[in-house]
């Protein structure tokens, strides 16, 4: 356990390390529909609601949608219905030609950002689902060049056409740093923030749903 902590391994990989060493896994993995995890999900839903009028969502380790706030509907405008059938994968949603892709004005830069998610998953070791997603996403893309370099200097903005106007959004990801349950540790709260004053005003002026 000390080795896993020193290496910064995710809890799932720490359990695998314990098994490989002949020990029982220490960290439980609770199903999302287990009543024991309800307080966690309720807290996350409160954070989603509190982030209005800006979009926010919660995903699992494979970027499948767990929950989202009302403003997330701005992100999914015009997306093909089949891509919104559960389980919704937000990476597929972003890069699929019948998803967000036609509305992303800086598609090449944003695509490189999106591809980093399954690549990070594979950095911890082989995983058929991460590999399959990386292969699928890569298949949606033209040959990518180097990033344009016209970012804010510290993050890649999502430049998105929407019903309320042209949006420039930054993303922030929050996780449970002290989680001792595999499922909870693998949940990510992803929030979209305005990258400029014009985007902030457009989102604040959007009528509540």
DSSP for 134-170? HHHHHHTSPPP----S-S-SSSPPEEEEETTEEEEEE
CB 148 within 8 A of CB 164: no
Domain with CATH 3.30.450.180 in the chain: 31-146+154-205
Question: What one-character DSSP code corresponds to residue 157?
Answer: P
Q: Residue 62's closest CA among 23, 93, 20, 96? A: 93
Residue the block writes with tokens 């970012």: 151
pTM (2 d.p.): 0.88
- Residue 125 gets the label, from left (phi > 0), alpha (psi -120 to 50) or beta, of left
* Residue 50 predicted with pLDDT over 70: yes
CATH code: domain 31-146+154-205 is 3.30.450.180
- Token pair 């929050």 is found at 174
64-73 per-position pLDDT tens digit: 999 999 999 9
Q: Could you tell me which residue, 42 or 153, shows the higher pLDDT? A: 42
**pLDDT at residue 145 tops 70:** no
What value does the mean pLDDT of the chain take?
A: 91
Asked whether 85 and 93 are in contact (CB, 8 A), the reply is no
Nearest CA to 143 among 173, 112, 174, 114? 112
pLDDT at 152 (0 to 100): 45
Provide the phi-psi class of 164: left if phi over 0, else alpha when psi is between -120 and 50, else beta.
alpha
Q: Flag whether pLDDT at 147 surpasses 60.
A: no
CA dist., res. 90 & res. 100, Å (int)? 10
pLDDT at 6 over 60: yes
Note the pLDDT of residue 190.
95
């Amino acid at each position: 356990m000390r080795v896993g902590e020193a290496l910064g391994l995710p809890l799932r990989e720490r359990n695998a390390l314990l098994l490989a060493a002949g020990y029982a896994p220490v960290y439980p993995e609770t199903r999302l529909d287990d009543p024991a995890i309800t307080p966690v999900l309720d807290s996350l839903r409160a954070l989603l609601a509190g982030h209005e009028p800006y979009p926010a969502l919660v995903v699992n380790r494979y970027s499948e949608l767990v929950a989202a706030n009302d403003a997330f509907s701005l992100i999914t405008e015009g997306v093909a219905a089949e891509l919104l059938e559960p389980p919704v994968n937000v990476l597929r949603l972003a890069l699929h030609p019948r998803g967000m892709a036609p509305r992303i004005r800086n598609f090449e830069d944003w695509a490189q950002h999106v591809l980093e998610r399954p690549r990070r998953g594979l950095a911890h070791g082989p995983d058929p689902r991460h590999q399959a997603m990386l292969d699928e996403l890569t298949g949606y893309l033209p040959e990518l060049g180097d990033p344009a370099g016209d970012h804010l200097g510290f993050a890649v903005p999502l430049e998105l056409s929407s019903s309320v106007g042209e949006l420039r959004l930054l993303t922030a990801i929050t996780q449970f740093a002290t989680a001792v349950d595999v499922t909870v540790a693998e949940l990510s709260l992803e929030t979209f923030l305005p990258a400029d004053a014009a985007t902030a005003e457009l989102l604040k002026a959007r009528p509540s749903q």
